[in-house]
Homo-oligomer: A and B are copies of this chain.
Amino acid sequence: MKPRMIDYSLMLVTDHCSDAAAFCSIVEKALQAGATVLQLREKTATTRDFYQLALRIKPIARQYNVPLLINDRLDIALAVDADGVHVGQEDLPVAVVRRLIGPDKILGATAATPEAAQTAEREGADYIGSGAMFPTRTKPGKPVLPMNVLAQIKQSVKVPVVAIGGITADNLLTLKNTSVDGVAIVSAIMDSADPAAATQEILSRWCK
């Protein structure tokens, strides 16, 4: 899957997996309901457990033809031959990851300023993730990115920009004016009692 052909409308970003069967079921429901990109994020598991989870998730992503990105861990991405990697400020530098994964894998990078987004684009990022747009349980205390800065980031780069952080069906329309290419969702899908319905609701509001 070539980096430039991706539909970034709705990126599902996962949370810590405490029960692999339940976790895979939620992910599958969200992909079946139309999530367009899957980013596997696991900050507490051992390398072996993360690897085994990624091995289990990969065929689900394939089944729904959704690109599988691995958050932070290039080693896991290489080990399971994922479609790409997403790196934040505490992860490997963008240029280093691009060198190691080659030109055909997807590389996403977190940026909170237009300058950081431009640097990431120059170093090889295929898309930019920016946030947090709203207060979020996943990263408590993370500063909220002003809507006008998100709009500036979008205007500063050619690659797609995805907004992340506390986004729900109820607040996502406020992002529309920024012209970003998509929304990345964690809790509003992973913690939903009905992940399929939550995904459909977010997609229908975002894409209308």
Which residues of A are interface residues toward B (Cβ below 8 A)?
Answer: 46-49, 51, 72-75, 78-79, 89-93, 96, 100
Q: Give this chain's copy count.
A: 2
Chain A interface mostly: helix
Pairs A–B under 8 Å by Cβ, sample size 27? A46-B90, A46-B91, A47-B72, A47-B73, A47-B90, A47-B91, A47-B92, A48-B89, A48-B90, A48-B91, A48-B92, A48-B93, A49-B90, A51-B92, A51-B93, A51-B96, A73-B75, A74-B74, A74-B75, A74-B79, A75-B75, A75-B78, A75-B92, A75-B100, A78-B78, A78-B100, A79-B96
Distance, CA A75 to CA B51, complexed state (A)? 13
Query: What is the CB-to-nearest-CB distance from A108 to chain B, in angstroms, rounded to a whole number?
Result: 15
Residues of B within 8 A of A96 (CB): 51, 79
Inter-subunit contact B73/A92 (CB<8 Å) = no
Q: Name the residue of chain B whose CB is nearest to the CB of A89.
A: B48
Residues of B within 8 A of A91 (CB): 46-48
